[in-house]
Amino acid sequence: MSEVVTRERHDGIAIVTVDSPPVNALSAAVRRGILENVNAAVADPEVQAIVLTCAGRTFIAGADITEFGKPPQPPALNDVIAALENSPKPTIAAIHGTALGGGLEVALGCHFRVAVKEAKLGLPEVKLGLLPGAGGTQRLPRAVGPELAVQMIVGGNPIGAAEALKHGLISEIVEGPASGGEAFARKVLAEKLPARRLRDDDSKLAAARADRSIFTNAVAAMTKKARGLEAPFACADAIGAAIDLPFEEGLKKEREGFMKLVVSDQSKAQRYAFFAEREAAKVDGVPDGTKPRPVSRVAIIGAGTMGGGIAMSFANAGIPVTLIETGKEQLDRGMGIMQKNYEATAARGGIPADAPAKRMGLITGMVGLDNVKDADLIIEAVFETMAVKKEVFTALDAYAKPGAVLASNTSYLNVDDIAATTKRPQDVLGMHFFSPANVMKLCEIVRGAKTAPDALLTAVSIAKKIAKVPVVVGVCDGFVGNRMLAARSKQSEKLLFEGAPPQQVDAVVTKFGMPMGPFAMGDLAGLDIGWRSRKDRGIKSEIADALCEAGRFGQKTGKGYYKYEAGSRSPLPDPEVETLINDTLTKLGLKRREVSDEEILERMMYPMINEGARILEENIAARPSDIDVVWLYGYGWPIYRGGPMHYADGVGLKHIAERLSYYAKATNDPSLEPSPLLKKLAAEGKTFASLGQPNKAAA
Ligand code: 3HC
Ligand code: NAI
């Protein structure tokens, strides 16, 4: 018998316990263990009912993702589930933590399910580019009806125990999983509750069978934001099969769909991203046993765009913050914007009606930097000027208590130079949030030359607490994300001068799956910012300058690279811009040429990848997958393409290096020559992934 699954008998009830840390995933050993123990319990004449439960922090959290892509090992999960479903003795799943994916499918094979009140139940396979492959698409609609099943399977979000009870997914909410499961088993026996085999129970499908629009409307609502993704539609097809076909045939359809997705590039990319995110949270070069410093009080300096968003992120996680400004007027403005933002979200139903007041109650506004005295963590988000940053950090050094972590949200500035203005550079680092900071999940944690390991871990740990995805990066201009973005911006600007109109460039980038193209993004951020900075540095960018000189600052003035109708954020191509570009090029003596979409895509992506390779050479990022996490969570890189470095591996580094060399010559731009690392990998026929991690993602 397997060690990861054990069996006890308590007075006629067999308790089968899975104990396979960390999350009781359904490895071959776990599958075998459950099957053997359930068969043994069925064969044991003393046993009258079987409870399946888990040790540790959670019920089974799904199939073992590390096994995907490897040769399948028996027994198949469907056979394990069939044993539970076909058992002549009642089977009961007793759930705590998260019953996810294959874990919930195992529970759906049981005749009854009970759960503790904190438990969550879901089929999140779609988030890995998959569909539930062990009967979930057939049994869940039978358990809860097709509408909720579509929400759970196509949307991939779990539901809580109370909702599960309401919809008949569980029979009871219990105190403890094992004890509650056992007590419920006794009730089943005493009250002779009939075993409900979901495969045989079509009652909840009747309505959708009579009127298929119940199902198709639910699918339409859930796939609205699924642009470019394959899995949500495959999930919907499989649920459709539950409605249209007998159980066994539906199961077969589901299996076919799963087998197709599991080998797809999209699912491989999404599984890669799952492990990349978890790998990014592991910090290299920190001595074993290092612990983060305790943080109970947080102060944020600056209540502008970023300071406000960061304060909201803390309040959303229930952590009180002090928000500090230079004057009452600035403070009131910042507090007002947050209040309005919360109210708008509540009005849309995004948060409960009492949330705005509760969350604003966690944010205390103050004037004057001496108010940081009690804070364990201070995040500075003032203007992006070194002189202002230095002034603020000198004051923080004077007021902050010893051991407080001092973080800057700077986008580009040198964190070591900021640290040097204090007598405690070991406590200083960057916490670079992305706009809008209450929404975007990425936080680049910038490790300075002198940052202490425990200070670094403090920032990583607090970022996770406020539901951000932390990635540790080194000091350089723009860190990982903005540095790579700059490589792309240089090309998008050059493409304009060569003849590609802004809408063509943007269309190529959005078709690839990015949420916005570079020019629409410029219009959103405001073109005047770059214009002012160019003027300060004595730099010219004739087309962008001409736009600004014509008062076209982007969305805020209703026109930029595009025009915008009043109240709309939709970019519309503008003939005036076309004329302005033509006039500027004529003035410069440049001739426009047709630029192909293929060239645009290569020149948008490959220079960024090249910059990523330089970032690795310089050790600014610890691993290629960290760069991918930055792009997935900071810039909306499409999850089904895994991130720029993963994408590059798929295209082939040899091809990318060749094209970069070609463009370096064709456009007379030596900065496009492939970096030494890219050249080396290309010559050796290797991938970025060969440099290591996240090694769990099956190829
Ligand atoms: N398979 C293999 N490893 C897994 C895993 C899985 N399904 N789920 C989590 N892990 C690993 C993680 O990689 C991590 O390993 P590490 O410590 O070495 O980095 C460890 O378990 C802990 O994971 P988290 O850091 O994510 O722990 P949390 O407590 O924050 O979250 C969780 C726990 C909610 C269970 C989260 O891990 C999760 O969402 N897991 C994935 C769930 C999932 O997608 N299940 C469906 C799988 S596909 C499937 O079941 C197909 C079936 O239909 C046939
Ligand atoms: P902002 O101009 O909206 O806000 C800055 C705020 O800081 C202002 O309200 C100002 O009154 C306040 N401030 C200035 N000096 C202060 C002092 N001594 N004490 C207290 N408050 C002071 O600027 P924004 O956009 O919020 O940027 C802040 C920082 O975040 C900058 O370093 C910027 O580079 C960075 N950042 C900005 C992003 C963006 O998209 N806006 C994205 C990521 C980082």
pLDDT in tens, 564-573: 999 899 999 9
Flag whether the pTM goes above 0.80.
yes
pLDDT at 370 over 90: yes
* pLDDT at residue 340 is higher than 80: yes
Tell which one of 411, 418, 441 to mutate to probe ligand 2, the residue whose CB is within 8 A of the most ligand atoms: 411
Number of domains in the chain: 3
Give a yes or no: residue 618 inside a domain: no
Contact 549, 583 (CB under 8 A): no
pLDDT per position as a tens digit, 233-266: 999 999 999 999 999 999 999 999 999 999 999 9
Decide: 276 and 629 in contact? Cβ < 8 Å. yes
- Rounded Cα–Cα distance for residues 426 and 446 (Å): 13
379 and 513 together in one domain: no
**Ligand 1 atom having least distance to the Cα of 61:** 35
Q: Outline where 211-327 has alpha helix (H).
A: 213-222, 231-244, 247-262, 265-280, 305-316
Report the first-to-last Cα separation within the chain, whole angstroms.
Answer: 31
- Residues 48, 166 within the same domain: yes
The pLDDT value recorded for residue 697 is 45
| Atom from ligand 1 closest to the CA of residue 127 | 44
- Give me the chain's average pLDDT, please: 96
Q: How far apart are CA 59 and CA 17, in angstroms?
A: 10
Q: Which of 418, 445, 479 is the last residue of a domain?
A: 479
Residues 536 and 471 in one domain: no
Indicate if 508 and 456 belong to the same structural domain. Answer: no
Q: Is the CB of 23 under 6 A from ligand 1?
A: yes
Pocket test for ligand 2, best of 383, 384, 439, 556 (most atoms within 8 A of CB): 383
For residue 450, what pLDDT is reported? 97
Q: Does any domain span residue 223?
A: yes
Q: Is 493 in the pocket of ligand 1 (CB under 6 A)?
A: no
User: In the numeric block, which tokens belong to residue 4?
Assistant: 């990861």
User: What is the rounded average pLDDT of the residues 626-644?
Assistant: 98
Alpha carbons 131 and 102: distance in angstroms, whole number:
10
CA neighbor of 550 nearest in space, from 216, 18, 542? 542
Return the pLDDT at 3. Answer: 87
Query: Could you give the C-alpha distances from 45 to 6, 9, 195, in angstroms and in order?
Result: 18, 11, 19
Q: What distance in angstroms lies between residue 128's CA and the mean position of ligand 1's atoms?
A: 11
Ligand nearest to the backbone CA of 107: 1
Is the domain of 340 the same as that of 223?
Answer: no
Domain end marker among 588, 607, 630: 588
The bridge status of strand 120-122 relative to strand 159-160 is: antiparallel
Find, among 319, 152, 293, the residue nearest to 232 by Cα.
Answer: 152
Q: Is the pLDDT score of 2 beyond 70?
A: no
Looking at residue 699, what is its pLDDT?
40
Ligand 2 center from residue 661 Cα (angstroms): 40
Tokens 């680049």 belong to: 444
Residue 371 domain flag: yes
CB count in 10 Å sphere of residue 540: 8
Q: Residue 292 falls within a domain, yes or no? A: no
Mean pLDDT (whole number) for 455-478: 97
DSSP at 554 = B
Look up 105 and say whether it is catalytic.
Answer: yes
Q: Indicate whether 143 belongs to any domain.
A: yes
Q: In what order do the strands lie in the sheet with 363-367?
A: 363-367, 321-325, 298-301, 377-380, 405-408, 428-433, 442-447, 469-474
460 in the same domain as 572: no
Both 508 and 459 in one domain: the answer is no
Copy the structure tokens of residue 619.
């050790």
State both tokens at 538: 């004595």
Q: For residue range 523-557, what is the model confidence (pLDDT) as tens digits?
A: 999 999 889 989 988 999 999 999 999 999 999 99
| Amino acid code (one letter) for 186 | R
CA of 128 to the centre of ligand 2 (A): 37
Marked catalytic residue, from 36, 85, 125, 325: 125
Tokens 């580019």, located at residue = 129
Q: What is the CATH number of the domain that holds 453?
A: 3.40.50.720
* Residues spanned by the domain of 328: 298-479
Q: What is the CATH number of the domain that holds 507?
A: 1.10.1040.50
Note the pLDDT of residue 693.
60
Q: How far is Cα 101 from Cα 61, in angstroms, rounded to an integer? A: 7
pLDDT of residue 696: 52
Query: What string of DSSP letters covers 436-495?
Result: STTT--EEEEEEPTT--HHHHHHHHHHHHHTT-EEEEEE-STTTTHHHHHHHHHHHHHHH
Please give the distance, rounded to the nearest whole angstrom, from the Cα atom of residue 393 to the centre of ligand 2: 14
The rounded Å distance from CA 366 to ligand 2 centre is 16
Q: How far apart are CA 632 and CA 626, in angstroms?
A: 10
**504 pLDDT higher than 60:** yes
429 and 536 co-located in one domain: no
95 located within any domain: yes
Band the pLDDT of 26: cuts 50, 70, 90.
very high
pLDDT score recorded for residue 270: 97
pLDDT at residue number 694: 59
CATH number of the domain that 46 lies in?
Answer: 3.90.226.10
Q: Please indicate, yes or no, whether residues 253 and 315 belong to a single structural domain of this protein.
A: no
**Closest ligand to Cα 399:** 2
Q: Are residues 221 and 360 in the same domain?
A: no
- Provide the pLDDT for residue 69: 82
- Rounded-to-integer distance, Cα 174 and Cα 166, Å: 14
Q: pLDDT grade, residue 692 (50/70/90)?
A: confident
Is the same domain home to 43 and 155?
Answer: yes
**Does the residue 641 lie in any domain?**
no
Ramachandran class of 349: left when φ > 0, alpha when ψ lies in -120 to 50, beta otherwise:
left
Which ligand has the minimum distance to the alpha carbon of residue 478? 2
Q: Which two tokens stand for residue 202?
A: 């079509």
* Residues 569, 115: Cα–Cα separation, whole Å: 46
Q: Is residue 679 part of a domain?
A: no
- Residue among 23, 78, 118, 140 whose CB has most ligand 1 atoms within 8 A, to mutate: 23
Buried b (16+ CB within 10 A) or exposed e, 545-580: bbbbeeebbbbebbbbbbbbeeeeeebeebeebeeb
Give per-residue pLDDT as tens, 379-432.
999 999 999 999 999 999 999 999 999 999 999 999 999 999 999 999 999 999
pLDDT at residue 146 is higher than 90: yes
Q: Residue 698: which pLDDT band, with cuts at 50, 70 and 90?
A: very low
Tell me whether residue 602 is one of the annotated catalytic residues. no
Question: Is 484 in contact with 468 (CB distance < 8 Å)?
Answer: no
List pocket residues of ligand 2, CB cut-off 6 Å.
Answer: 301-307, 324-326, 330, 369, 381-384, 388, 392, 409-411, 433-435
CB 290 within 8 A of CB 372: no
Burial of 160 (0-12, 13-18, 19+ CB in 10 A): middle
Q: Which of 262, 287, 308 is the last residue of a domain?
A: 262
Are 304 and 453 in the same domain? yes
